[in-house]
Amino acid sequence: MLVLPGLTSLATSWEEGAPGPWLVTAILFTVAVALGGPLLLSWYLTRLPADHFVKAPVARAPFVRVLRGISGALLIVAGAAMLALPGPGIASIVVGLVVLETPLLRRAAVSLLRRPRIAEAMTERRRRAGLPPFELPPEGPGHGG
């Protein structure tokens, strides 16, 4: 029988009536993602200009690139978690790809934004904030589509 130390302590503490650290951490993470994810996502989507995907990326300072890299990676990981937990999983992954700002990830974000359900959700969020929908580059080779 395979025994994992973390799961064994979780099961033992659950049987004893006190939640173990793994359970408490999982509950706090779920609540933070469920409440914070949609708020962070809405805030970020309203800060991007409508032509973000058609204009050339801006050169940034090394500190800003590192900060964006960490933020983008966290958004992608949180989005992946939200595919199973409550929250806007795919939208968070798209925003994480946008924050990372590499050409390959930018094309991936544009590809996701071309999907009808995702485009409708993003457009609706921006419409509620009084902003126009995102402009996307033309489809085809070399255009990010």
Taking only the tens place, the pLDDT of each residue in 3-18 is 445 545 544 555 566 6
Instruction: Tell me if 46 sits within 8 A of 126, measured CB to CB.
Output: yes
Could you list the beta-strand ranges (E) of the chain. none
85 Cβ contact partners less than 8 Å away, ≥ 6 residues apart: 30, 33, 34
What would the pLDDT profile of 56-99 be if each residue is shown by its tens digit? Answer: 877 778 888 888 888 888 888 888 888 887 777 877 887 887 78
- Which residue do the tokens 């991936």 mark? 108
Higher pLDDT, 145 or 22: 22
pTM, two decimal places: 0.52
Instruction: Tell me if 41 sits within 8 A of 88, measured CB to CB.
Output: yes
Q: With bands split at pLDDT 50, 70 and 90, how would you rate the model's confidence at 110? A: confident
What would the pLDDT profile of 40-56 be if each residue is shown by its tens digit? Answer: 777 877 888 888 888 88
Spatial distance between the Cα atoms of 96 and 88, rounded to a whole number of angstroms: 12
Structure-block tokens of residue 83: 């595919």
Structure-block tokens of residue 8: 């064994």
> What is the phi/psi pair of residue 52, to 5°?
-55, -40
Q: With bands split at pLDDT 50, 70 and 90, how would you rate the model's confidence at 132? A: very high
